[in-house]
Amino acid sequence: MIPALGNFITEWAGWPEALDVLLLQNYNTRLVVLSTTLLGIASGIIGSFLLLRKRSLMGDALSHACLPGIGLAFIILVAFGGEGKYLPGLLLGALVTGLLGVGMVIAVRNTTRLKDDAAMGVVLSVFFGLGIAIMGLLQKMPGASAAGLEHFIYGKAASMVLSDFGFILTITVIVIAVSMLFLKEFVLLCFDDSFAATSGWSVTLLDMILLLLVAAITVVGLQAVGLILIIAFLITPAAAARFWTDDLRGMLVWAGILGGLSGWIGASVSALLPNLPAGSLIVLVGSGLFLFSMIFGNARGILKRYWKHLKLKRKVGRQHLLRSVFEIIEAELRGESREPVNMAVSVDRLQKHRTWTPKRLHHLIKAASKEDHIESFDAHTLRLSEAGFGEAARTTRNHRLWELYLISYADIAPSHVDRDADSVEHILNPDMVRELEARLLQKESSLAIPRSPHQIEEKGVTP
């Protein structure tokens, strides 16, 4: 194990060679890196539609269905006296059986009660098993060498030539052009295929156009990453892009960038460490970019969502504290004419009002003090600032408006409404507050600070 690791490390030839790879000085390296980068861009773009269409495994079914086509094309080429390893012929065979496999998935889905995942699983396993059987027969064909065809299973980017680069460039341009041309229709297909159908579009036709593009990417990617790993090249960049944006056009751009980076970095590292195949490295780099996006993505990343959750938690805690202080002041001033601003509130009473732990209450008070909502506090009392009292009044008002709405329109009992209002009141925006005011205007003579429904219920008055 250790000697093997030592041999692996000694493959590194140093920074001069790394610089040559980065600057694309070597002809073969330039072809491979540019080809895989273009393939990554096209895969990311078309994979975004597959992901949004919830057809991620369709690419996997298509790629596995390509294997018997490669074997059959080899047999036909040899039978007619041609070169069995003629690449365009092999790719054409892969395309034919790939599309046949997708057609069977669609047929099974439309004519039976099986769902997409079951149909794709059946077709994938049947075609892949058939392909493996055909590959086994090819090894025993007299007078024809099938050696090297297994590279279509695992990929061998190092064998690319200039014609392969031209082929991939053409497919990339076609995929981007068709995606932009049918962008609006693909958006309808991905988000609301029923509306697309009522708008006069054939959902089946749009599905077939999308799958043709997927088939084109799959076939040209067989040589680079192989039919087993091509699904990762199609889906991983698109899935990673979802963490960076909520806009579809932005997602297409991000998916293309991340797919291109996966191809570029993976192929470059493979050029520096020849014993590591480019296909697997491309997928590993793509997975690394996915993991990075999942954690640091500025739209849906874990850190961003955690920060938003933390801010909401702080906001909820602050509003509960201020409302509790306001309610205590309100109870103490019932029937009196004293000025409520700057009244001292007992910390012990405040703790019992919400059943906070002393540590939690102290944390909330300190946080509110930093936001200038509390003028002063000590171990026994606290006083709201003028801004804090205004915020407390606003928070209490919104809470009671929502309580009254739930009682009046949602048939929730006043004894249970406080908990339900607590779940929603913190996301009320000014427009929602104005709507509540308009609906409840007939039920309250003044909406400055509505009476608490709990107090109304205690007096036996119907709100």
Distant-in-sequence, close-in-space partners of 386: CB < 8 Å, separation ≥ 6: 341, 342
- Domain closes at, from 234, 251, 274: 234
Residue 299 lies in a domain: no
Same domain, 87 and 225: yes
Domain count for the chain? 2
Q: Which amino acid is at 306?
A: Y
Q: What is the pLDDT of residue 258?
A: 94
Where does a domain end: 206, 234, 262? Answer: 234
* Neighbour count for residue 133 (Cβ, 10 Å): 12
Q: What is the pLDDT of residue 338?
A: 59
Question: What pairs with residue 374 in β-bridges?
Answer: 384
Note whether 281 and 156 are within 8 A (CB). no
* Spatial separation of the C-alpha atoms in residues 461 and 147, rounded to whole Å: 90
> Considering the domain boundaries, does residue 280 fall inside one?
no
pTM metric for this prediction: 0.78
Helix (H) or strand (E) holding 383: strand 381-384
The confidence score (pLDDT) of residue 168 equals: 84
For residues 401 and 447, is the Cβ–Cβ distance under 8 A?
yes
CB-facing half-sphere around the CA of 132: CA atoms within 13 A: 7
Say how far apart CA 163 and CA 145 lie, in whole Å: 23
Query: H or E stretch including 377?
Result: strand 374-377
Tell me, yes or no, whether 188 and 316 share the same domain.
no
Tokens of 293: 């996006």
Instruction: Decide: 301 and 295 in contact? Cβ < 8 Å.
Output: yes
Q: Tens of pLDDT along 418-440? A: 554 555 555 566 776 677 667 66
**Rounded Cα–Cα distance for residues 390 and 373 (Å):** 9
Task: Find out whether 45 and 250 touch, Cβ atoms under 8 Å.
Answer: no
Sign of CA dihedral 294, 296, 301, 307: positive
CA distance 419 to 410: 14
HSE of 237, CA atoms in CB hemisphere, 13 A: 33
Residues 325 and 451 in one domain: yes
CATH of the domain at 348: 1.10.10.10
CATH number for the domain spanning 42: value is 1.10.3470.10
Taking every pair of Cα atoms in the chain, the longest distance, rounded to a whole number of angstroms, is 108
Do 318 and 222 lie in one domain? The reply is no
Judge if 312 and 424 occupy the same domain.
Answer: yes
- Does residue 410 lie within any of the structural domains? yes
Say how far residue 269 (Cα) sits from the centre of its chain.
27
Residue-level pLDDT at 254: 94
pLDDT score of 423: 55
* Residue among 259, 209, 288 nearest 39 (CA): 259
User: What is the DSSP code string of 8-36?
Assistant: HHHT---HHHHHHHHTT-SHHHHHHHHHH
Stretches where the chain sits below pLDDT 50 are 1, 5-6, 8-10, 420, 444-447, 459-463
Residue 286 in domain: no
User: Which of 234, 260, 291 marks a domain boundary?
Assistant: 234
Which domain, by its residues, includes 151? 25-234
Report how far apart, in Å, the C-alpha atoms of 417 and of each of 168, 312, 404, 452, 454 are.
63, 21, 9, 11, 9
Residue type at 181?
L
